[in-house]
Amino acid sequence: MTIAIFGATGHLGGLVIDHLIARGADPGDILALGRNEERLAGLAARGLRTARVDLADPAELPAALAGVQKVLLISASDPGARVAQHRAVIDAAAEAGVGHLAYTSILQAPTSPLGLAVDHRATEDLIAASGIPATFLRNGWYTENYAGDFALARETGVIVNSVGDGRVATAPRSDYAEAAAVVLTEPGHEGAAYELSGDTPWNYAEFAQAAQEVLGTPVRYQAVTTEQEREHLLAVGLDDGTADFVSAMNTSIRENALALSNGDLARLIGHPTQSLSETFRAWV
């Protein structure tokens, strides 16, 4: 059985490959697809099949998927342009007769207020219309998304944003990658949509407290208004569009758009998700 991974040269894709192999997958049965030739060469050295593909050039995709039984489509990284790229993969998978397609979507994609959810909803609709048996891996936020805030805590002792008391149920990338590996190597996940997130939602006051305990130095969280945050972002050099995007995202997070924790991720991987403090300890 050949498993193809789109986005294999990215951070999440590399961890999915590690977990597939740890679960007993033969490296020769994994087809790593991506654009980074250096990383593809490293995967080939581990015994994986590799192919350089560019989702902006869909003509090459059907040949790449010939003989593939399962596909993991890790969402592309270019909001606004990626739906067309995802459509190209879905069409190629249907043409190749792929029997199972897993897609890394976003937490609560059908109802999420996050602007990023628009592309994911569109992609889920395309997959459903394709008729390919599919699994939606609706990933919440990675704890690694907050490495910058942890670095600020370490350097300045202060974290400032407009998230306020909003909670985020994060887990490290490795936990999400393990869930993808489980879905790709076990039967019975076709037709499922999993809401994947960490076991313990946290707010920024708790983030600061955990950082303080791990670092051994004072850390505090300072909440500001959306307007104050936007002014600060513009002052440090962000353009209007980016500042508006960040402010809107933090508004949604303040309203708990990423707080859901239903246990799907821990059940899939068979163990608790890594806590915030455990991740911080790994970072130091």
- Radius of gyration in angstroms for the set of CA atoms belonging to the chain, rounded to a whole number: 20
pLDDT higher than 90, residue 211? yes
pLDDT digits (tens, 9 = 90+) for 186-197: 999 999 999 999
Looking at residue 195, what is its pLDDT? 98
Give the architecture (CATH level 2) of 3-139: 3-Layer(aba) Sandwich (3.40)
pLDDT higher than 90, residue 7? yes
The answer to whether the Cα torsion of 108, 104, 172, 190 is positive or negative is positive
pLDDT digits (tens, 9 = 90+) for 161-171: 999 999 999 99
Looking at residue 148, what is its pLDDT? 96
| 51 phi, psi to nearest 5 deg | -155, 135
Instruction: Please compute the mean of the pLDDT values over residues 104-113 and round it to a whole number.
Output: 97
pLDDT higher than 90, residue 58? no
Four-point Cα dihedral 268, 205, 166, 172, nearest 10? -30
Task: For the chain, give the mean pLDDT.
Answer: 96
**Domain map (residue ranges) of the chain:** 3-139, 143-170+197-259+274-284
pLDDT digits (tens, 9 = 90+) for 121-146: 999 999 999 999 999 999 999 999 99
Q: What is this structure's pTM?
A: 0.96
Looking at residue 255, what is its pLDDT? 97
Looking at residue 57, what is its pLDDT? 85
- Kindly report the CATH class assigned to 143-170+197-259+274-284: alpha beta
Instruction: Please compute the mean of the pLDDT values over residues 193-208 and round it to a whole number.
Output: 98
Instruction: Identify the band that residue 276 occupies on the pLDDT scale cut at 50, 70 and 90.
Output: very high
Name the strands in the sheet holding 3-6, side by side, starting at the edge strand that comes first in the sequence: 49-52, 30-34, 3-6, 70-73, 100-106, 134-139, 193-196
